[in-house]
Amino acid sequence: MNGPNLVLIGFMGSGKSSVGRLLAARLGGRFVDTDALVVRRAGMPITEIFARHGEPEFRRRETEALASFTRRRGIVAATGGGIVTTPANLPLLKQIGPVIWLTADEETIFARVSRNTRRPLLKTPNPRQTIAELLATRRPLYEAAADLTVDTTHRTHEEVANVVIEEAKQRFPWHP
Ligand code: S3P
């Protein structure tokens, strides 16, 4: 992959994994994902890690996964939606590469995440309200971590990947 690693942050349902896979394919890099690495290392799904060990233990493992990406080159790294809630992750994100924040409006996020039940934090009596609350607390954290922000609301994954590549080429040291 020419150019720097790329890191994708953003709320659940912002398209980090789908867009990340496309970006890696387009740029000739490898796609990596903190959630996938945590699950692989634990040998159990995220819902089970939360249920058996609790959220703090999940966060500890998430930071470990993120730290392992700082030693890699030629990667597009997707991260879990809560990555910015652990302050120690901020310098790690920056160390991996330019940080791209994928955003979407609340309505769109709700529609996207309603399609599956794999997210323990949204197993609440009122997921819509949970999303609103989490978004409100996290928005400033994503903003502080981001080098570039791309709105995914009315875009396909392919369109988002195109925008990310175009903007990244202009903003970050890129050696075609
Ligand atoms: C979380 C988001 C999930 C996963 C875990 C916690 C969060 O990842 O890491 O369920 O705190 O927002 P996705 O953003 O890929 O859904």
pLDDT in tens, 76-134: 999 999 999 999 999 999 999 999 999 999 999 999 999 887 899 999 999 999 999 99
Q: Ligand 1 within 6 A of 83 CB? A: no
Q: Which residue has the higher pLDDT, 112 or 3?
A: 112
The residue whose CA has the least distance to atom 11 of ligand 1 is: 82
The predicted-structure confidence for 153-166, as pLDDT tens digits, reads as follows: 999 999 999 999 99
Report residue 176's pLDDT band, with 50, 70 and 90 as the boundaries: low
Describe the chain by its helix, strand, coil percentages, rounded to 5. 55, 10, 30
- 2 and 175 in contact (C-beta within 8 Å)? yes
If one counts every other C-beta atom within 10 angstroms of the C-beta of residue 69, the result is: 21
How far is residue 166 from each of residues 33, 90, 106, 111, 174, measured CA to CA in Å?
Answer: 22, 25, 26, 28, 11
Mean pLDDT across 27-56: 97
The predicted-structure confidence for 16-39, as pLDDT tens digits, reads as follows: 999 999 999 999 999 999 999 999
The residue whose CA has the least distance to atom 3 of ligand 1 is: 80
